[in-house]
């Protein structure tokens, strides 16, 4: 039971409701509750947190107070009592002794075993010995419920009021209830449980446990302070989990990993949050819960390098212990929306090849199933890799059921799991046609969602050009005559137009900055808003859009991480106006042959694979966006296809619920059967069971709730969605599946037979004449393919307009000459000079070379305000020009007369030496040809007043270079020129030039040809330009800091030649 990190409010991802430590729960009540009550009406027990890096610091006001001490890991007090982990009535010495006996010691609480790392010490309040009552404030869809121990019913408080019902308890407790309610709303507390004693007119809070909505941290994180969100007991973060947590924090994709059993036989590398739950369920349903090694997923199209690092960590743990019976590696995933399967598989393949010998030594067998863009190439890569490393592998595409590889891997071998028996004969109640027609005419029960047809148009909020193009591509596949997107709202841009492809033609879609402007122009045709606003701004954007509820009847909110309190207010406002909201945290929905909400359905390959260009007979609904794509595939494989599919979103309080969607399907005569994919957590599926039982839903429903594996763990596991967690015994996936089965839904025994059950129900409807299959499948439509997509698949080629060999920003992090930036920053041997070497010369150079480059940069950075470059920069700055314009003004003066002497000096001296000229002959030749010797001469410096910069360059070269033939030649020339005039010395330009040539030729990193080409290319001017930029920027900032006015050259400094 290794110790690891726990999350704090500063580092947790904004994804779910999370329990706060008991210490921080009491702290939050102490900080915020007194302000909501009359003075001295409440006292909250003082507490101390004890844990790693936080030793016991006794700070209670009363020196002789008695305390209760217990572990602070979310365990129930009763369970801790049974485990002997609660100390009561202890003074300071008693607490210290109690902690000394238990800190670092393994303990068992319920089914979980671990080492308590955090403890809470709670002061026992005087007078609190009387019987305590439990008060609970819990958020529900339309408000809060306040429950008090001993009362028959909870008090329901609607969202639009904070007044408790009149039948409240006596004054102190009533006031406390109201204060707790207001505190929960102010701090985004989703559940508060506390133990309260009443003493006269005062309430004493002796225990508390709060749950916070992490998504609201941007709203009230300052009020929360540094809260600790404990890991479940026995489940502290392990080093490998911490490594992947850190990896996850560096990418916009999702990388998750929980190590369940380090020595387990069954290991998983699963793409997609929903798919990871389904695979885990199926493994456990086949009896391998104790052999399951890990739970996790990668999703969101992570870059290849991140996938490689992710897989490398997992395979490292997997191969760290032998397994005599062999290990099983399941590389699975649903049909990806847009993730390039071939690209992510390249990362997995790299890791597999690295661990090939270790995998073989463990007797590993690999089982692969994946679909989505470029899945064929990805599967071929995986198969070849396994053949190369000598590991047996079975590879399948979307033609196989999602979890078929689990069955094949666990059942195929002797002594493994037993296969499920054949599905028993089904009794499918055929809906009466008349009943369906009456329902279709009735209306209501559809959650306010419009009826989508081939003329439905939407307004897209947010400049999501890829999503818009995908919607228009779907329009083309469906044969729509008009684009499904009427307009785009870009509140931070400007009103304009954006060009898209509609089929093979261009179409301009108007962009507005205000929704009101779009409604004025398109209000007669656009009745759907697809809202891509961020989680921070989507609340205000939706409230604005609800003002147009007479026109915009349906919203789809795509954003994840919207605070629950804001979500519930939006749903309340939408309900008042009869508007349907799909989401938040939804991918949208798909209406084959008619309409597509945003990115639903995924890439074009998926649309064609699942035949979404034409309607079928099945309506489905799920929470998971990723699994909605898999459902498209499952339905297409086992029926005549999808009529409508809606992903309601993964948050706890979706706008349109399962019951709303299925009642909508019930009223649609073209939908003959329904498919529901639910999950652990929440009670939405029970509403569906009630509707089936009481006859509101008469059409056949095939249902399954994912997350059955949660009951196999000894601690809570947060699955991918914010709502995917059971907060009560009746919220488990098993209890939901049972309720649905008892109500009359068709529920498989495992997700593994989900597709088979759908096929059997469909066939029964066909046999009963309810569904008449197509006589022949129509030809699949074609869609013009973008050039970039064809090139990615290797079907076309085009010469690149640019070639770059010095840097690359396509991977996990940018690289210079193949060296990652993080490595450059951490390497003390590189520095600025080494970085220049990588970018200019594409190679690492010895440290003395890098230091010489840095010396040149320092020496050339500036030469005062009077030289032409600085002068121009100063004049431009004083004219009010910006930094870049002023810098360009100064840099433009660099040339043969200013700075450019470095290149010319290098070439002149090198040519003379290479021709075998003596210094005397070289000087005489220049005199004869009337050429100025570049790099010789200075206005101020002379033999008697040497240039210290030249001395530094010469001394460094003599001390560090293996040879300095060109410097020696130049010094010999200087001896000749200074005889004519003392200031004809080797100047700094000349010194740097000749030393740099000696460096390039003598450091061993370049051939003679390469060194000469670099000089001819202007590398020395590059040194001057780069370094002088530093000085010019300094002059600009200096003028701005000194607030210098516009410069006008004085007239007395101009000679006017007018005659």
- Give the residue among 523, 515, 533 at the shortest CA–CA distance from 464: 533
Under the phi-then-psi rule, with left for phi > 0, alpha for psi from -120 to 50, and beta for the rest, what region is 321?
beta
- Rounded Cα–Cα distance for residues 528 and 551 (Å): 8
| Active-site position among 721, 746, 938, 1035 | 721
805 SS3 class: coil
Torsion 339-342-344-345 (CA) sign: positive
Counting DSSP H helices and E strands in the chain, the numbers are 36, 37
793 SS3 class: coil
- Give the residue among 202, 184, 203, 201 at the shortest CA–CA distance from 193: 184
Confirm if 711 and 668 have CB atoms less than 8 A apart: no
Neighbours of 943 (CB within 10 A): 14
- Rounded Cα–Cα distance for residues 52 and 228 (Å): 12
- Rounded Cα–Cα distance for residues 857 and 865 (Å): 18
Contacts of 300 (CB under 8 A, 6+ apart): 251, 252, 253, 254, 339
Confirm if 369 and 397 have CB atoms less than 8 A apart: yes
Q: What is the CA radius of gyration of the chain?
A: 37
Strands 189-199 and 133-140: antiparallel
- The token duo for 83 is 């485990």
Strands 457-461 and 526-531: parallel
CA distances from 232 to 710, 716, 733 (A): 13, 7, 20
- Rounded Cα–Cα distance for residues 23 and 209 (Å): 9
Total residue count of the chain as it appears in this document: 1059
CA distances from 293 to 257, 329, 737, 839 (A): 11, 10, 26, 45
> Quick one: the chain helix, strand, coil %, rounded to 5?
40, 20, 40
- Rounded Cα–Cα distance for residues 674 and 700 (Å): 6
- Give the residue among 1035, 1031, 1028 at the shortest CA–CA distance from 874: 1035
Confirm if 53 and 762 have CB atoms less than 8 A apart: no
Using H for helix, E for strand and C for coil, what is the string for 565-588?
HHHHHHHHHHHHHCCEEECCCCCE
- Rounded Cα–Cα distance for residues 656 and 622 (Å): 11
Under the phi-then-psi rule, with left for phi > 0, alpha for psi from -120 to 50, and beta for the rest, what region is 127?
left
Strands 554-557 and 526-531: parallel
For 506, phi then psi, to 5°, come to -85, 145
* Cα atoms in the Cβ-side hemisphere of radius 13 Å centred on 865: 9
Neighbours of 385 (CB within 10 A): 21
In this structure, what DSSP letter does residue 14 have?
S
Neighbours of 958 (CB within 10 A): 12
Strands 143-148 and 155-158: antiparallel
- Give the residue among 865, 864, 837, 842 at the shortest CA–CA distance from 852: 837
- Rounded Cα–Cα distance for residues 320 and 122 (Å): 43
Examine the residue annotation and report whether 721 is marked as an active-site residue of this protein. Answer: yes
Show which residues are catalytic: 721
């Amino acid at each position: 039971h290794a110790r690891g990190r726990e999350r704090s409010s500063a580092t947790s991802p904004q994804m779910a409701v999370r329990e706060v430590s008991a210490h921080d729960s009491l702290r939050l009540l102490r900080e915020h509750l007194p302000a909501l009550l009359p003075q001295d009406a409440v006292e909250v027990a003082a507490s101390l947190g004890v844990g790693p890096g936080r030793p016991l610091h006794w700070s209670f006001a009363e020196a002789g107070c008695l305390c209760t001490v217990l572990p602070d890991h979310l365990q129930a007090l009763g369970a801790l009592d049974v485990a002997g982990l609660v100390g009561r009535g202890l003074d300071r010495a008693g607490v210290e002794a109690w902690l000394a006996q238990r800190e670092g010691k393994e303990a068992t609480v319920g089914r979980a075993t671990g080492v308590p790392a955090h403890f809470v010490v709670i002061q026992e309040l005087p007078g609190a010995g009387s019987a305590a009552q439990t008060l609970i404030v819990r958020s529900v869809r339309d408000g809060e419920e306040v429950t008090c121990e001993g009362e028959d019913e909870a008090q329901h408080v609607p969202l639009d009021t904070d007044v408790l019902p009149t039948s409240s308890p006596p004054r102190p407790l009533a006031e406390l209830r109201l204060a707790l309610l207001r505190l929960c709303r102010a701090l985004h507390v989703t559940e508060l449980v506390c133990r309260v004693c009443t003493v006269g007119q005062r309430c004493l809070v002796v225990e508390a446990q709060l749950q916070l909505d992490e998504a609201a941290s941007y709203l009230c994180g300052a009020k929360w302070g540094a809260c600790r969100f404990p890991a479940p007991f026995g489940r502290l973060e392990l080093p490998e989990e911490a490594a992947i947590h850190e990896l996850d924090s560096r990418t916009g994709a999702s990388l998750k990993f929980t190590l369940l059993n380090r020595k387990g036989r069954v290991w998983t590398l699963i793409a997609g949050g929903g798919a990871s739950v389904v695979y885990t369920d199926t493994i456990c349903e086949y009896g391998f819960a104790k052999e399951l090694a890990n739970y996790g997923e990668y999703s969101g199209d992570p870059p290849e390098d991140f996938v490689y690092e992710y897989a490398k960590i997992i395979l490292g743990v997997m191969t760290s212990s032998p397994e005599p019976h062999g290990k099983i590696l399941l590389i699975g995933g649903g049909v990806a929306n847009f993730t390039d399967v071939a690209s992510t598989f390249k990362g997995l393949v790299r890791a597999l090849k690295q661990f090939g010998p270790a995998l073989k030594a463990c007797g590993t067998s690999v089982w692969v199933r994946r679909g989505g863009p470029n899945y064929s190439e990805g599967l071929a890569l995986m198969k070849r890799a396994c053949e190369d490393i000598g590991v047996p592998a079975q590879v399948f595409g979307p033609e196989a059921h999602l979890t078929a590889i689990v069955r094949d891997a666990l059942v195929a071998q002797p002594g493994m799991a037993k296969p499920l028996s054949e599905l028993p004969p089904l009794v499918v109640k055929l809906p009466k046609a008349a009943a369906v027609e009456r329902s279709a005419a009735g209306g209501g029960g559809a959650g306010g969602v419009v009826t989508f047809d081939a003329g439905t148009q939407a307004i897209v909020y947010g400049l999501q050009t890829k999503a818009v193009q995908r919607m228009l591509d779907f329009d083309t596949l469906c044969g729509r005559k008009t684009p499904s997107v009427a307009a785009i709202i870009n509140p931070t841009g400007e009103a304009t137009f954006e060009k898209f492809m509609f089929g093979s033609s261009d179409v301009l879609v108007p962009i507005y900055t205000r929704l009101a402007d779009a409604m004025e122009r398109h209000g007669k045709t656009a009745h759907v808003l697809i809202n891509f606003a961020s989680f921070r701004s989507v609340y205000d954007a939706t409230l604005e859009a609800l003002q147009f509820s007479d026109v915009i009847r349906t919203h789809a909110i795509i954003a994840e991480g919207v605070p629950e309190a804001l979500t519930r207010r939006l749903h309340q406002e939408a309900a008042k106006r009869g508007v349907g909201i799909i989401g938040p945290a939804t991918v949208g929905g798909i209406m084959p042959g008619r309409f597509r909400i945003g990115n639903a359905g995924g890439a074009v390959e998926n649309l064609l694979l699942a035949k979404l260009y034409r309607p079928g007979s099945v309506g489905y609904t799920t929470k998971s966006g990723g699994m909605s794509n898999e459902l498209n595939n499952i339905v297409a494989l086992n029926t005549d296809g999808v009529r409508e599919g809606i992903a309601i979103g993964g948050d706890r309080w979706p706008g349109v619920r399962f019951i709303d969607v299925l009642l909508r399907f019930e009223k649609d005569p073209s939908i003959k059967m329904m498919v529901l994919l639910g999950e652990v957590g929440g009670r939405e599926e029970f509403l569906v069971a009630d509707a089936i039982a009481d006859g509101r839903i008469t059409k056949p429903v095939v249902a399954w709730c994912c997350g059955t594996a949660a009951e196999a763990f000894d601690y809570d596991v947060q699955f991918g969605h914010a709502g995917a967690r059971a907060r009560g015994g009746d919220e488990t996936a098993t209890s939901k599946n049972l309720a649905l089965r008892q109500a009359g839904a068709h529920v498989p025994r495992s997700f593994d037979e989900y597709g088979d059950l759908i096929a059997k129900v469909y066939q029964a409807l066909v046999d009963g004449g309810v569904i008449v299959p197509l006589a022949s499948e129509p030809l699949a439509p074609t869609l013009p393919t973008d050039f970039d997509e064809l090139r990615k698949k290797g079907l076309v080629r085009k010469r690149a307009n640019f070639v770059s060999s010095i840097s690359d920003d396509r991977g996990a992090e940018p690289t210079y000459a193949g060296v990652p930036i993080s490595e450059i920053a951490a390497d003390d041997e590189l520095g600025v000079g080494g970085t220049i070497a990588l970018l200019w010369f594409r190679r690492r150079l010895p440290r003395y070379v890098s230091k010489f480059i840095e010396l040149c940069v320092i020496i050339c950075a500036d030469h005062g305000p009077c030289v032409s470059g600085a002068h121009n920069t100063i004049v431009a700055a004083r004219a009010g020009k910006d930094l870049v314009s002023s810098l360009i003004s100064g840099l433009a003066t660099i040339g043969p007369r200013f700075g450019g002497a470095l290149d010319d000096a290098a070439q002149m001296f090198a040519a003379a030496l290479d021709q075998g000229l003596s210094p005397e002959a070289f000087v005489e030749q220049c005199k004869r040809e009337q050429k100025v010797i570049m790099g010789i001469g200075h206005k101020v410096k002379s033999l008697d007043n040497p240039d210290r910069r030249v001395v530094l360059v010469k001394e460094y070269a003599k001390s560090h270079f293996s040879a300095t033939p060109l410097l020696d030649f130049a010094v010999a020339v200087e001896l000749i020129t200074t005889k004519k005039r003392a200031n004809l010395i080797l100047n700094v330009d000349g010194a740097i030039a000749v030393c740099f040539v000696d460096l390039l030729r003598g450091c061993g990193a370049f051939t003679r040809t390469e060194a000469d080409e670099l000089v001819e290319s202007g590398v020395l001017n590059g040194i001057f330009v780069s370094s002088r930029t530093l000085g010019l920027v300094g002059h600009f900032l200096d003028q701005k800091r000194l607030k210098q006015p516009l410069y006008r050259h004085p007239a007395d400094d101009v000679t006017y030649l007018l005659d």
